[in-house]
Chains A and B, each alone.
Chain A
Amino acid sequence: MSTLEIKDLHASVTTEDGPKEILRGVNLTIRAGETHAIMGPNGSGKSTLAYAIAGHPKYETTSGEVLLDGENVLEMTVDERARAGLFLAMQYPVEVPGVSMANFLRSAATATRGEAPKLRTWVKEVKSAMSDLDIDAEFADRSVNEGFSGGEKKRHEVLQLALLNPKIAVLDETDSGLDVDALRVVSEGINRYRASGENGVLLITHYTRILNHIKPDKVHVFAGGKIVESGGPELADELEANGYVRFTGAEAASVESGLANAR
């Protein structure tokens, strides 16, 4: 049973004008079987948190810890983190021209499982996982994400989630850009992954609608680079009704008091 612990995480993004601090002390623990939703306004740093956990080279963690079952994730390379059991479904999946989806999936499965899956069972496994997500078989021969629509890219992120079966999955706006049917298909995919009860999910979203399909155990409001409030599913209902104003307002207030203290 796995646990991901994020402790007082600070991170900055590398920009042309130098590093810019985005994460300002994130604390969060996700245990196997739990689904945590992180909700927050655009630009609050949700993707930065996801990338920092996955080890994107543009994001530098300046202090704090990320531990997977006690192991320091921040010391691992990107691929080591994935092999340790972390997975990030990206908000904007990357196109890799020339490399077929089939070849990519097999390489990824070989890497994360530690050995090449047996060809016959593998082909069946991929086919059935694709059909579960209403993905046409022809996608196996296409280049990774190249020319895929937004929705097709998201389905393929969930396809990878299904095949790699990580201990902890971070899903960054996997719901955005999906129509109603696609949202249902993708949500069902995520729920199948959750069904074992052995995996933890960090579900990052801007909208509450995916929470009608995927019931979170905890909801966290993210603003100004950190979690500003945590609660149960009812917190999502409040956000649905009132939006983020209360939290962005609170953030502004805390900035003011910070200034006052500095004075």
Chain B
Amino acid sequence: MTTEVSGLAPELKGAKEGQGEVPIASAGERFQSFDVNAFEVPGGREENWRFTPMRRLRGLHDGTAAFDGTAAISVTETGGVTVETVGRDDSRLGEAGVPADRVAAAAWSSFREATVVSLDGTPDPVTVTVEGPGVGATAASHLQIRTTPNTEATVVVVRQGSGALADNLEVVLAEASRLTLVVTEEWADDAVHVGAEHLSIGKDATLRGTAVQLGGDLVRVSSTIRYAAPGGDAELLGLGFADGGQHLEQRLLVDHAQPNCTSNVFYKNALQTNDANDPAHTVWIGDVLIRAAAENTRTFEFNRNLVLTEHARADSVPNLEIETGEIAGAGHASTTGRFDDEQLFYLQSRGIPERDARRLVVRAFFHEILHKIKLPELRERLEEAVEAELAVTGV
């Protein structure tokens, strides 16, 4: 058995902070609770909040958010899909994981009813739409997506609208089931979304996840991937496009505690702004933990950022903790590249106008992620959304 562990890519430029040089407690030993009051109110200096602009959180973290709005969840129902609205006491809730930060716990403590979407057999693709509570309102919500053994399904979760939302999304994959899950953040400009995702991968189950962050003022999604049994396989792709004033944050913890599982994390962000007073910011945190029991793990995580303009900042912190020598392969890398004047000059010197040159670069950058989305309508919609982002900034 060969063990390969690669470090940060040498070309790493923009990701200076927190490259594991600061010793932090193991990502696996973080505090968890369903009770919001068990968590201290974060002030912004804590390791898991240090990149987040706390003042823009609309009080989701400190008890001042009223959570009296509603984030309506609607599901397109087809054969093989059961949609239930259940009370807080439903025994299935919490099966995939426990909140690990105060906003997730606040969401858990505040939601009134949860939506459970159960998938069985080979249903047609399902779309779940989560509508923000509206300008100025705050809401908490809870959504669980679960499969029965051997199910093969595709779910698209679209988050849109205005207001502030704290939520938990649970995904429970039964043995040998396969789920393709695309989650898109297509919020209006005012929206704030702080979400926790708890993904539980059953025996020999497969998750193909794609997270797309486009809209919103502040979007922060923390995902925890756990394997309930051996043989699980998770591919997690991400695409983010931050423009002026946006803060987009993606936090991942892949917790390998079972043997013979694989994880593959690949997130790409582009950033641009045309205004020094409206900086664009992305944050990617990729923690992978390989525990002693997780023999024969294969894992790779990679974050690439493309900085298109000045006044844009991409933070990237890959972190790999390995507690066993018996792994099949592990690597992580992070690169932040700049689309610079020399590249623009080169493309223009071949007749390509500036706007087209930027499009060419951004399209090519995201192609690696978007071409994997197998639903043509969704892919085209997202491609158009990326183009629209380029047009908005008008650089």
Interface locus among B12-20, B45-53, B257-265, B356-364? B356-364
Which of B306, B342, B351, B364 contacts A108 (CB under 8 A)? B351
Min CB gap B308→A, angstroms: 12
**B352 — which chain A residues lie within 8 A by C-beta?**
79, 82, 107-108, 111
Binary per-residue interface labels of chain B (340-362) against chain A in the complex, 1 for a CB within 8 Å, 0 otherwise: 01110111111111101100110
Nearest B residue to A93 via CB reads: B346
B350 in contact with A99 (CB, 8 Å): no
Name the A residues within 8 Å of B365 (CB-CB).
98
Which of B306, B342, B349, B354 touches A82 (beta carbons < 8 Å)?
B349
Check: B337 CB closer than 8 A to any chain A CB.
Answer: yes
- A206 to B: closest C-beta gap in Å: 22
Q: Does A20 make an interface contact (CB < 8 A)?
A: no
- CA A83 – CA B337 in complex, angstroms? 29
Q: CA–CA, A57 to B348, complex, Å?
A: 11
Would A96 and B348 count as touching, CB distance under 8 A? no
Q: Which residues of chain B have C-beta atoms less than 8 A from A95's C-beta?
A: 343
Q: Which residue of A lies closest to B350 (CB)?
A: A108
Q: Which residues of chain A from 88 to 113 have a CB within 8 Å of any chain B CB?
A: 88, 90, 93-100, 103-104, 107-108, 111-112
A77 contacts the other chain (Cβ, under 8 Å)?
yes
- Count residues on chain B whose CB falls below 8 Å from chain A CBs: 21
- The winner among B341, B342, B365 for most chain A CB atoms within 10 A is B342
Interface size, chain A (Cβ < 8 Å): 31
Given contacts A96-B361, A99-B364, A111-B356, contact A54 B349 (CB under 8 A): yes
Contact of A160 among B341, B342, B350, B354 (CB under 8 A): B350
Q: What are 19 A-B interface contacts by the 8 Å CB criterion?
A: A54-B345, A55-B345, A56-B345, A77-B348, A78-B345, A79-B353, A79-B354, A82-B352, A94-B346, A95-B343, A96-B343, A97-B337, A98-B364, A99-B347, A104-B350, A107-B347, A107-B356, A108-B352, A164-B351
Question: Which A residues have a C-beta under 8 Å from some C-beta of B?
Answer: 54-58, 77-79, 81-83, 87-88, 90, 93-100, 103-104, 107-108, 111-112, 144, 160, 164
Beyond the given pairs A57-B345, A93-B346, 14 more chain A to chain B contacts, judged by CB atoms under 8 angstroms and listed by A's residue number, are A55-B345, A57-B341, A58-B341, A79-B354, A79-B357, A94-B342, A94-B346, A96-B343, A96-B346, A97-B337, A98-B361, A104-B350, A111-B353, A160-B350
